[in-house]
Amino acid sequence: GAVVSQHPSRVICKSGTSVKIECRSLDFQATTMFWYRQFPKQSLMLMATSNEGSKATYEQGVEKDKFLINHASLTLSTLTVTSAHPEDSSFYICSAARGTGELFFGEGSRLTVL
Amino acid sequence: AQSVTQPDIHITVSEGASLELRCNYSYGATPYLFWYVQSPGQGLQLLLKYFSGDTLVQGIKGFEAEFKRSQSSFNLRKPSVHWSDAAEYFCAVGANSGYSTLTFGKGTMLLVSP
């Protein structure tokens, strides 16, 4: 099946620094990718929809300046957590929509901010 | 607004026993329903989906789910659980088949005992 890969799978950073997470669709082109945040024992919360070549669409309550999303190519979307704080620690998951509309999820990236 | 309720946070099943994971949804129109499985540290994998037609849908890994409109439910079942089925299971509802409007439940953690 289609593969979506995230990198890094785990990252630890100091408070105040920025962290970039990559999401790649390895065997198909994805005009649309999605970024989710998952808290422990909670469901996935959609943060934003990333559209290739245009600005991302953020869900209500998600800070655009805190979570920068770039979808510069049909196979890569990046999420940058700027000026990270401990409350930004979470599991971030991306998904990519293939032409059929079916979603394929990445493995997730666990961010820990000290 | 659409919502999904998975009433069971944890379920423990003996290997070889049958399994039923509950999912109730709230949506004003005809829902598109999904079940995903997430292994530890992994992304989500689609088990099965219901868009229309036969209300009993078959998925991968021997799973099936039944859509019951009168009960607003989409319970996941498996006749005989294997130890490798231990994972977290998410039910999701969408407004269309394009997956972009998915709302996830909080998940049910399945534990399999010897």
Q: How far is A94 from chain B (nearest CA, A)?
A: 8
pLDDT of residue A114: 95
Spatial distance between the Cα atoms of A6 and A106, rounded to a whole number of angstroms:
5
Residues of chain A short of pLDDT 70, as ranges, are 1-2
Average pLDDT over residues B54-68: 95
Cβ distance A43 to B90 less than 8 Å, yes or no, reads yes
Kindly state the average pLDDT of the residues B45-71: 93
User: How far is the C-alpha of A6 from the C-alpha of A25, rounded, in Å?
Assistant: 9
- Predicted confidence at residue A1, as pLDDT, reads 61
* Digit-coded pLDDT (tens) for B63-99: 999 999 999 999 999 999 999 999 999 999 987 665 6
- CB distance from B44 to chain A under 8 Å? yes
pLDDT at A3: 87
* Range B12-33 average pLDDT: 92
